[in-house]
Homo-oligomer: A and B are copies of this chain.
Amino acid sequence: MKMDERKQKVLQAIILDYIATAEPVGSRTISRKYNLGVSPATVRNEMADLEELGLIEQPHTSAGRIPSQSGYRYYVDCLMEKEPLDRDIKDMISKAMMVRIRETEALIQVSSKLLSQLTNYTALVLAPALGRNALRHLQILPIDDSKAVVVMVLDNGHVEHKVIDVPGGLNHEDFTAISRVLNERLYGLSVEQWRPTILQTIYHELLYQKKLLNSVIELVENAISLEEENKVYLGGTLNILNQPEFKDIEKVKGLLELLEQEAAIKEVLHPAPEAGITVKIGSENIHQSMKNCSLITATYHLNGRVIGTLGVLGPTRMEYSKAVSILEYITEALSKAITRL
């Protein structure tokens, strides 16, 4: 059996109606609301075929049809038309990104918020892995006899600080010396590149002053462990509570718990392919508690390289078209904004 044009239209009608109403769709509804120019009986025949193809299913004998997972897949791959965004939505996004923002982190947070507000779904954002950014400046500021704070400025404008323990007996000059050596040797290198370099040079330079060695080692180790991870930002976590399919608390609990686990979200967002938009529907997602959900992801870029992922998480009965349009536009705006930094 082949998917002729009318079957496609019927499938599309079923999906659009089900997305809008969350109720099984009957043949009468389709023939009336979506003017296909054929009678309900004809639609019924088509529906029987679509069911045989596995694209739609019946909750029970005397109910209408709902899209199956394969049905959504077919829709996303073949039928979905891009929804043009309203002027004012585009403006809102551009404006929010133009805000005088000084750090990547703030841009990411804005994106996450926008994405969840505009889609009414949950937004997941994987921030850039800082480990790849080159060091622009590193400074060690002593706090007291046993502590110091390391401040690292990366070339993407990101700043991190971390308090570390240092052995006693170091004076101001020692810290200045260490800072100087570290700056000289590490400038322009990304954190990922530190480990090999560090061992060769720092040891040499500072060997004359043995007591500094341990603190330097600890500093670097700390800094590395700090910077290697990329953070996750969420927006609109509670939006799923508005979906009728999640009215049962047991279904929503697992999902909310999953969203609290940063590691799980990273896992979900991380293996984003090089290509732009990806849609994972229902059980295409790894996690059990996402089997009634769909996740749309997109990657954002800096200088042509993928540096992070944006995602929209909603029910499988999701407004794919709208979500994809918004996600695409925000992703693009974010990429541009980051490039501007």
A149 within 8 A of B: yes
CB-CB under 8 A for A151 and B151, given A159-B161, A249-B249: yes
> Is A137 on the interface with B (CB-CB < 8 A)?
yes
Complex formed: what's the CA distance from A149 to B151 in Å? 9
User: Is A204 an interface residue, CB under 8 A from the partner?
Assistant: no
Q: How far is the CA of A103 from the CA of B164 in the complex (A)?
A: 10
Q: Knowing A238-B256, A260-B238 touch, does A153 contact B157 (C-beta < 8 A)?
A: no
When C-beta atoms are compared, the residue in chain B nearest to A106 turns out to be B163
Stretch in contact with the other chain, from A38-46, A91-99, A139-147, A184-192 = A139-147
Bound complex: CA A157 to CA B164 (Å): 11
Q: What is the chain B residue whose CB lies nearest that of A142?
A: B137
Q: For the complex, is A7 an interface residue (Cβ under 8 Å from B)? A: no
Q: Which of A153, A238, A252 has the most CB of B within 10 A?
A: A153
A241, CB-defined interface residue at 8 Å: yes
A28 at the interface (CB under 8 A from B): no
- Contact string, A246-272, partner B, CB cutoff 8 A, digits 1/0? 111100110011001000000000000
Main secondary structure of the interface of A (DSSP, over half): mixed
Residues 120 to 178 of chain A near chain B (Cβ within 8 Å): 136-137, 139, 141, 143-144, 147, 149, 151, 153, 157, 159, 161, 163-165
Q: Once the chains bind, are B136 and A143 in contact (CB under 8 Å)?
A: yes
Q: How far is the CB of A249 from chain B (nearest CB, A)?
A: 5
Q: Is the CB of A139 within 8 A of B141?
A: yes
CA gap between A100 and B222 in the complex, in Å:
14
Collect the chain B residues with CB atoms within 8 Å of residue A141's CB.
137, 139, 151, 153
Q: Is A87 an interface residue (CB 8 A)?
A: no
Rounded to whole angstroms, the CA-CA distance of A141 and B161 in the bound complex is 12
Report the bound CA distance from A139 to B248 in whole Å: 53
Contact B102 A147 (CB under 8 A): yes
Chain B hits for A260, CB < 8 A: 237-238
Closest to A146 in B: B102
Residues of B within 8 A of A248 (CB): 249
Contact at B137–A143, with CB atoms within 8 Å?
A: yes
> Given A238-B256, A241-B253, are A159 and B163 also a contact pair (CB < 8 Å)?
yes
Chain B contacts for A164, CB-based, 8 A: 102
Contact mask for chain A residues 299-333; partner B; CB cutoff 8 A; 1 contact, 0 none: 00000000000000000000000000000000000
CB-CB contacts of A229-253 with B at 8 A, as 1s and 0s? 0000000011001000011110011
| Across-interface contacts of A252 in B (CB, < 8 A) | 249
**Closest residue of chain B to A102, judged by CB?**
B163
20 A-B pairs within 8 Å (CB atoms) are namely A102-B147, A102-B163, A102-B164, A103-B163, A136-B144, A139-B139, A139-B141, A139-B151, A141-B151, A141-B153, A143-B157, A149-B159, A151-B161, A238-B253, A238-B257, A238-B260, A241-B253, A248-B249, A249-B249, A249-B252
